[in-house]
Structure 1
Amino acid sequence: MIRYQKFGRVELGVTDVVRARRFYEDIVGLQYVGTGAAGEVLLRCDNEHHSLVLHAADVAGLRVAGFMLEGEDQFAVLLERLRSVGLGPREMSTAHCERRYQQRAIRVFEPLVGAVIEFYTPAADASRPFLPTVAHIQRLGHVVFNTPHAAKAVAFWRDILNFRVSDAVGEMITFMRCWPNPWHHGIGIAQSENCSLHHVNYMVSEIDDIGRALARLRTAGSDVVFGPGRHPASDSIFLYFLDPDGLTMEYSFGMEGFSEDFAREPRRLPLAPEWLDYWGSVRDPRCFTGAGANTIPESLEETV
């Protein structure tokens, strides 16, 4: 079985890297790490080397979603599983891994969610202290994919990649955890008309972070598009907001945890407003729309 540590990193295409860096650093609360040779900006929200990479793009969207494996020994079964369904994973170069403080990384284009997915292990010297600023961010929490092939995507991530289903809300969205990571979901797969980014989540350690973020976002002129509220599926308190390109981001506080063994059975919750938010917040139509299609690199092998 493939074993994961967590959803560990995300790369986004943005239309203005300087503006996006200012937003993610000053408003969201990530820490600047550095700028790459092609102008890509690296930031982090925990003790890993980086959590977010911003690339210049004509259209904003998801570029890469990265999942940290439990160890080097997980690559063999992962590669076998991917090849068994006709997907061609690409081994990332030593130079690329050194730039990203990774021991090893592979990438594959996953056609059902229409995105490049990276699986990696961190370098031994990747960890360093993270000092929270405007929000007590604990970790990158999860990524949710929009796709018109939701049922097939859920089957692929469950049966081939060994993610575990925690819950589903009707046929609209399925929440899956990066087993044996305990958090209710590391990914979500949402039924949509196209493949795009649904949202990226940052988990905070204090409920006050939700309230302070609401005031901070409004002061900065950033659009809050859903919440604050509480999700019945994961039991987390949430706040969704838009980045400068209209991509949906989320702060959340609290989440159900699962044991590795003897976890409860997944539920299919009714598709009704009260099963999306106990508190009754009204969702802005711009929330979760992805702003644009995923921005796929010309090659799985980065050139920077």
Structure 2
Amino acid sequence: MIRYQKFGRVELNVTDLARSRRYYEDIVGLQFVEQGPEGEVLLRCDHDHHNVVLHAAASAGLRVAGFGLEDESQFEPLRERLRAAGLDAREIPPALCARHRQQRALRVFEPRVGAVIEFYLPLADTARPFRPGVARIQRLGHVVFNTPRAAEAIAFWRDVLNFRVSDAVGEMVTFLRVWPNPWHHGIGIASAPEYSLHHVNYMVSEIDDIGRALARLRKAQSPVVFGPGRHPASESVFLYFLDPDGLTMEYSFGMEAFPERFAREPRQLPLAPEWLDAWGSERDPRCFTGAAPNAPLEAAMEGA
């Protein structure tokens, strides 16, 4: 059974690289690491060398979502599962892994969510401790995909990739753990007419980070599109906002944690406002709408 560490990397296409770098440093609170050889901007929010990569592009959207494997022994069973599912998993060359501070990595285009997925073994950046900025971010929390093939995607991530379903809210969204990582979800699969990024989440240290973010976002005239509120499914206090390209980002605090063994059974929750937000806030229609379609594998392999 495939075992993972976490959801640990996301690469985004952005239309104005300088503007987005300022936003993700000054408003979101990520730490700048370096600029890559193709001009890409590397940022971090935990002890890894980097967690977020921004690429200049004509249109904004998701480029890659990356999941850290538990150890080297996970790669071959994973590759065999992907091959049996008819997917072409491509190894990242060792020189590029070294540049990314990874021991090993492979990428695959997963057609059910319409996105490039990376599986990797990270190297901690012990020489330079992460220092939180305007928000005391602890880690990347999760990524949610919009897809018209939600039922197929849920089955694939559960049965092939060995993620574990925590809960579903109607037919709208299903939450899965990056097993045996304890957090309620490391991915979400949302039913939608088109493939795109639903949102990216950052887990913060305490509820005050949510309150300070609300004031900071308003001062910066960055749209807050949902919350603050509380998701009954995961128990998280949340705040959703839009980056300069209209991509939805989220802060959350207080997510339910599962034990590796004897976890509770997943729940099928009703699609009702009170199961989306126990506090009753209204959602802006711009929330979760994504942007351009997710990048294909060839684009994501360029300069990987």
Same fold (TM over 0.5): yes
Secondary structure, in 3 states, of the residue corresponding to 1:288? coil
Match for residue 188 of structure 1?
A: 188
The question of whether the paired residues in 1 share the 8 Å contact of 2:9 and 2:52 is answered with yes
2:131 & 2:125 partners in 1: Cα distance?
18
Match for residue 272 of structure 1?
A: 272
The question of whether the paired residues in 2 share the 8 Å contact of 1:201 and 1:251 is answered with yes
1:126 & 1:56 partners in 2: Cα distance?
29
The question of whether the paired residues in 2 share the 8 Å contact of 1:167 and 1:233 is answered with yes
Superposed, 1:1-304 pairs within 5 Å as 1-123=1-123, 128-303=128-303
1:202 & 1:156 partners in 2: Cα distance?
25
The question of whether the paired residues in 1 share the 8 Å contact of 2:195 and 2:294 is answered with yes
TM-score with structure 2 setting the length? 0.98
Report the CA distance between 1:124 and its aligned residue.
5.9
The question of whether the paired residues in 1 share the 8 Å contact of 2:49 and 2:124 is answered with no
RMSD: 1.1
Secondary structure, in 3 states, of the residue corresponding to 2:72? coil
Distance 1:208-1:149 versus aligned 2 partners, 3 A rule: same
The question of whether the paired residues in 2 share the 8 Å contact of 1:49 and 1:127 is answered with no
Report the CA distance between 1:296 and its aligned residue.
2.7
1:109 & 1:222 partners in 2: Cα distance?
32
Number of aligned residues: 304
Secondary structure, in 3 states, of the residue corresponding to 1:73? helix
1:190 & 1:175 partners in 2: Cα distance?
9
What amino acid does structure 2 have at the position aligned with 1:16? D
Report the CA distance between 1:20 and its aligned residue.
0.4
What amino acid does structure 1 have at the position aligned with 2:123? A
| Structure 1 unaligned regions, length at least 5 | none
Distance 1:155-1:127 versus aligned 2 partners, 3 A rule: farther
The question of whether the paired residues in 2 share the 8 Å contact of 1:90 and 1:300 is answered with no
What amino acid does structure 2 have at the position aligned with 1:119? F
What amino acid does structure 2 have at the position aligned with 1:274? E
Report the CA distance between 1:95 and its aligned residue.
1.5
The question of whether the paired residues in 1 share the 8 Å contact of 2:177 and 2:183 is answered with yes
2:125 & 2:73 partners in 1: Cα distance?
19
1:126 & 1:151 partners in 2: Cα distance?
41
The question of whether the paired residues in 2 share the 8 Å contact of 1:60 and 1:295 is answered with no
Secondary structure, in 3 states, of the residue corresponding to 1:256? coil
Secondary structure, in 3 states, of the residue corresponding to 1:298? helix
What amino acid does structure 2 have at the position aligned with 1:53? V
What amino acid does structure 2 have at the position aligned with 1:21? R
The question of whether the paired residues in 2 share the 8 Å contact of 1:229 and 1:277 is answered with yes
Distance 1:279-1:108 versus aligned 2 partners, 3 A rule: same
1:130 & 1:239 partners in 2: Cα distance?
23
1:115 & 1:101 partners in 2: Cα distance?
23
What amino acid does structure 2 have at the position aligned with 1:18? A
Report the CA distance between 1:293 and its aligned residue.
1.5
TM-score with structure 1 setting the length? 0.98
1:210 & 1:230 partners in 2: Cα distance?
11
The question of whether the paired residues in 1 share the 8 Å contact of 2:109 and 2:297 is answered with no
Question: In percent, how many aligned pairs have the same letter?
Answer: 75
